[in-house]
Amino acid sequence: MQNQGTVRDYLMLHFIVMIWGITAILGLLISLPALELVFYRTLIAAIGVALVAFFRKKELVVSFPELLKILGVGVLISLHWIFFFWSARVSTASVCLAGMATTSLWTAFVEPMINKTKIKWYEVALGLMVISGLLVIFQFETGYWLGLSMALISALLSALFSVFNGRLTLRHNPYQITFYEMGAASLFALLFMPIYAEFLTDGQPIQWAWKGNDWFWMLILSGVCTVYAFSVSVELMKRLSVFTLNLTINLEPVYGIVLAVLIFGEKEKMTPQFYLGTLIILISVLIYPVLNYWNKRRKAIRTID
């Protein structure tokens, strides 16, 4: 049942978020452009989860109506990662991760709309905190508006597929969801390539070939950051709310920005105002559990009375 997570679940969630914190960095270490990167990443991930499911004897067959739903979510995931890696390429890993921290803001509105539940006032309040942090970043980092805008779109798509996955986990195991979603994401990236090559690459051909250490970074990105991390996150959705997951994912920029500065040095160093805006966004992570506990306790007291 959702919302009944254990301490181990929360620790595992933070470990997964730490892994995701390096995805933008890996995207910069791999020479492939965003779309080609997503295609290979999701293709390798689909093959990887199929092999794991086979050796663990996990069922992958689902009904056709359910298959269509899972494939649809896979398309959203593909678009999410395309905008994610594209954002890092046109700006920096730090800017990309700061934009992704708005996922909880989008979730605060998307989840109640899809699940037909009431919007919680404190989730909206935390969302407004996120907006204030973004305004600080936009005010002083105008040169990165395109990258940050792409990251915001990626965050919205992340909120959407997370909510849909939260519902799918009630009916399917993580292997079924991950396999079909990764397969759909890879297929969508492949089918989108003609449009991408014609209108979005300035005449540059599709880059199919890997260079240097691309194979090594791609295996980490596909195996650890996708197959392992994505499957575990889907499993955690059975016991944790989507908003809790996405709010905790706001910590991704903390891990990612620190690692990016350590790895890329001066290229990733931003103005003090950027870090101030990012700090405002991340404070919401610390405030949410307090407000959530207070709200539940208030309701419990009312029930007793």
**Would residue 190 count as lying in a domain?**
yes
Tens digit of each residue's pLDDT (9 = 90 or more) over 130-155? 778 877 776 766 678 888 889 999 99
Domain that holds residue 145: 7-304
CA distance 206 to 65: 34
Q: Which residue has the tokens 């991704």?
A: 252
**Would residue 23 count as lying in a domain?**
yes
CA distance 278 to 266: 18
pTM for the full predicted model:
0.78
Number of domains in the chain: 1
**Would residue 153 count as lying in a domain?**
yes
Query: Which of 103, 234, 249, 243 is CA-nearest to residue 170?
Result: 234
**Positions of the chain with pLDDT lower than 70, given as ranges:** 1-5, 138, 140-142, 200-203, 242-243, 246-247, 249-250, 253, 265-270, 285-286, 288-289, 292-293, 302-305
**Would residue 274 count as lying in a domain?**
yes
Position 203 scores a pLDDT of 66
Tens digit of each residue's pLDDT (9 = 90 or more) over 4-15? 567 788 888 888
**Would residue 1 count as lying in a domain?**
no
**Would residue 2 count as lying in a domain?**
no
Tens digit of each residue's pLDDT (9 = 90 or more) over 73-123? 999 999 999 998 899 888 887 788 778 877 877 887 888 888 887 777 777
CA distance 80 to 154: 5
Position 131 scores a pLDDT of 77
> How many other C-beta atoms lie within 10 A of the C-beta of residue 1?
7
**Would residue 223 count as lying in a domain?**
yes
**Would residue 71 count as lying in a domain?**
yes
56 exposure class (CB count in 10 Å sphere: 0-12, 13-18, 19+)? exposed
Position 273 scores a pLDDT of 77
